[in-house]
A and B are shown apart, each in its own frame.
Chain A
Amino acid sequence: MTEHDEFEDRLRRALRDRPEPESGINLAAEAMRRGREREAAALRWARWRRRGRWLNVAAAILIIGILAVALWRSPAQETAAGSAEVAWADETEEMAETEWLSDEGAMLEICGVLALGMLLFSAVELSLGEPRRWDWALAN
């Protein structure tokens, strides 16, 4: 027997007899409890995600609606309010330090892009079908 084999044999004998650590709890029962708890939490999360998608669609439709009303009303208001409206606009423009905030068109564009983005996101999410159950085991 070579020195290498002797050393390996020495290791094997010592480690084979090494006492295994003990656990003070019922591991199987505890693991099953935790596993089921997490799966229930994952299902709850999936339900919220599903609700969240429809909320997203509703919010986007609401924004588009507000935008449509704003666009429809603004030319009419301008005609009706006449010079008073123009004076008010001039005053606002003078007071506003940042020009873009007073620019209604830019604001409407930003809202439009936001609403379209939300709708697009919802459409993609909904086309993926039912949300997949959160696989926490894989994440581990």
Chain B
Amino acid sequence: MSETEQGTPDLERLRRRDAGAFTWLVNEHRALVLSLGRSLGLSGADLDDAAAEAFAAVYGALPGFEGRSQLRTWVYRIAHRTMVKHRRGLKRKRLGALPEEMADPGGPSPAAEAAASEEQRRIWAAVDRLGQREAAAIELHYQRGWSVEEIADAMECPTGTVKTLLFRGRERLRELLSDMERSHDRA
């Protein structure tokens, strides 16, 4: 892992779980982890709780981080595992009792919706309707600019699978967007 940027703590400080270094890590990866939670359908207090769980897991695993993979892909892997498990627990407790359409899809806030253009809103809505893995690959690639190799490392799958997920995701988005445009034109 290259730690050349100013303000970036070195690996040793992270491993020692120095409070400053850990706060830096959380601030640096907060958006990534929260977006992951959103793509898993979490929102509000559930999202906060799942993100705190994910970072607590990262905190516990930090002494064993060897720096063989990039910090962000390592954090993503732990956060993904933790949040999926957390969501499963939540579903058992609560969502299981609710009809599918009542589950909060975790989309953008009303204020953000209002500020966004029609085109952006349509694309965000379409991404929210993709399968979880496809949505994650699309977001990491197009929103965060991650390479296919980085996504494969974070999602613990071969690069070929990531390429397939991106291809399928794009095709599905194309379909969803054209459907949305057609129904918009009709209205």
**Chain A positions near chain B (C-beta within 8 angstroms):** 7-8, 10-12, 14-25, 27-28, 30-32, 34-35, 38-39, 135-138, 140
Q: Which residue from chain B places its CB closest to the CB of A4 in the assembled complex?
A: B170
Asked whether, in the complex, the Cβ of B52 is within 8 Å of the Cβ of A30, the reply is: yes
On whether A19 and B108 interact (CB within 8 A), knowing A32-B59, A34-B53, the answer reads yes
Q: How many residues of B contact A (CB 8 A)?
A: 48
A interface secondary structure, majority: helix
- Contacting residues, chain A, for B45 (C-beta < 8 A): 24
Chain B, residue nearest A138 (CB)? B61
Q: State the B residues within 8 Å of A (CB).
A: 19, 22-23, 26-27, 30-31, 34-35, 37-38, 43, 45, 47-48, 51-61, 64, 78, 81-82, 85, 106, 108-109, 112, 116, 119-120, 123-124, 127, 138-139, 142-143, 170, 173-174
Residues of A within 8 A of B26 (CB): 27-28, 31
- Whether B112 contacts A32 by the Cβ 8 Å rule is no
B34 touches A28 (CB 8 A): no
Residue from A16, A28, A135 having most chain B Cβ neighbours under 10 A: A28
- Out of B52, B56, B85, B123, name the residue touching A14 (CB < 8 Å): B123
